[in-house]
A = this chain, B = another copy of it.
Amino acid sequence: MNGVALPALSSRLRDLAKRQPAHTTLLGEFYRDEEVYRADLDRIWRTGWLFAAHSCELAAAGDFVTLEVGDDPLMVVRGEDGAARAFHNVCRHRGSIVCTTPHGHLGKRIVCPYHQWSYDLDGKLARATGMQEDLQKEDLGLHPVHLNECEGLIFISLAASPPPFDPAGAELGPVLKPQGLKRARVAKILDYRVAANWKLVWENNRECFHCVSNHPQYVKANFDHYNPDDVTPRIREQMVAMVKRAEAKWAACGLGTPRTETGLTPFPDAEKNIWFAGNRTPLVEGWVSESMDGKQVSTLMGEYPDPDVGTMRVRTLPNFWNHSSCDHGVTTRLLPGGAQTTLIRAYWLVDAQAVEGRDYDLVKMMPFWQLTSEQDWTICERQQQGVNSSAYLPGPYSTYKEYNVDSFIRWYLGRLVGTAAAAGVA
């Protein structure tokens, strides 16, 4: 956006937002319309903090990864000083992308392959052979992108003045630290092109109402599909006992305070614009890992004393969640690919020292989350087909089971309309 003030939300979109009923799914246009998509890019994706990569993907100076947010090509590079930095992956000479592969290793310079304009790893234009002597090199560095690295996760913001990252860091850091993502390794990446608006992917993520009939393997391991206010007394007792035992043990070994509820974490908070959350939650009796049979599928990660650590869970809007067991973690990253397309990457992470074949086997590690993920993408694509219908009308959310989806919708509308307000629009 180059520091330019956000244009006012169009009157068409303001009217649309006004017509949105409370406590229901969104009006169809929000899920399918090109103008809404562009507003989402401007007001959500180009203002907030986005998960970009894991620290371990760029371990050494000169390591880089690239990604695209909408039509914006970006790069994240580890500098000589050990700091990660993000830039628009756009040469200031003729506009070519500069890093042309998904990841790689640079020498001391970032060199554009078109005419060899060469930038230092901190983005400054260092050399531009063949150009006139009076070239204002100091004005021609790579356009910078804000970056925060937090316990092995790299977040970026395309905003000129991003919201503060510190509250997120303060909340997520202690939850993340024992997992040791800083000394992890990406064991596997799967990329998906999902024919659904990014908000449908989040609505799916924000409830486990659909889990029993759609995720048979997931519900064997987790309590999310239960809600504290609608379970049978027997299960409720069981959950309370689980939590109590886990709390005691985890406190003793310094794993931070888990949430006292085993069900879905209340998230996000629309009113306070809380876009991040982390917690630790017990798995069901006898499970130590989110694997098909609950058994450990790799060596322990991070600072874990033994496998009985439940799962660590972190999520940030608009594009990230991670579920980590004692032995492996799974990150999901969303990127917007169009009004009706979301580009999703799933990463499986293990301890940096774990060796495939010896310490873990992808065939055992991947199915739990690969199945769960792909089941969800199918669901989201079916919902997209339905909300495209001229007959579609917003439907009611369950007050028992879809309160988080409702919060997400309110958070989204607040960002969409609120940022307009912040930009001086009524």
Q: Within the assembled complex, what's the spacing in Å between the Cα atoms of A393 and B94?
A: 9
A209-B115, A213-B116 known; A91-B386 Cβ under 8 A: yes
Q: Does A385 contact B (CB under 8 A)?
A: yes
Q: Does A286 contact B (CB under 8 A)?
A: no
Q: Does A401 contact B (CB under 8 A)?
A: yes
Task: Give the residues in chain B near A401, CB-CB below 8 Å.
Answer: 130
When the two chains form their complex, are residues B392 and A95 in contact, meaning their CB atoms are under 8 A apart? yes
Q: Within the assembled complex, what's the spacing in Å between the Cα atoms of A209 and B70?
A: 31
Task: Give the residues in chain B near A25, CB-CB below 8 Å.
Answer: 94-95
User: When the two chains form the complex, which single residue of B116, B396, B400 contacts A93, counting CB atoms closer than 8 Å?
Assistant: B396
Task: Give the residues in chain B near A72, CB-CB below 8 Å.
Answer: 389-391
Q: Within the assembled complex, what's the spacing in Å between the Cα atoms of A88 and B388?
A: 11
Expressed in whole angstroms, the minimum distance between the Cβ of A38 and any Cβ of chain B is: 10
- Chain copies in the assembly? 3
Q: Does A363 contact B (CB under 8 A)?
A: no
Interface string of A362-398 (1 = CB under 8 A from B): 0000000000000000010011011111111101101
Q: Does A214 contact B (CB under 8 A)?
A: yes
User: When the two chains form the complex, which single residue of B90, B387, B398 contacts A95, counting CB atoms closer than 8 Å?
Assistant: B387
Q: Does A161 contact B (CB under 8 A)?
A: no
Q: Does A232 contact B (CB under 8 A)?
A: no
Interface string of A1-24 (1 = CB under 8 A from B): 110000000000000000000000
User: When the two chains form the complex, which single residue of B73, B93, B130 contacts A385, counting CB atoms closer than 8 Å?
Assistant: B73
Q: Within the assembled complex, what's the spacing in Å between the Cα atoms of A92 and B392?
A: 8
Can you name 4 extra interface pairs (CB under 8 A) apart from A88-B391, A92-B393? Answer: A25-B94, A73-B385, A96-B386, A135-B396
20 contacts between A and B (CB under 8 A): A2-B390, A2-B391, A71-B389, A89-B389, A90-B392, A92-B395, A93-B395, A93-B396, A94-B383, A95-B383, A95-B395, A96-B379, A96-B383, A96-B385, A97-B386, A115-B398, A116-B213, A131-B396, A132-B399, A135-B396
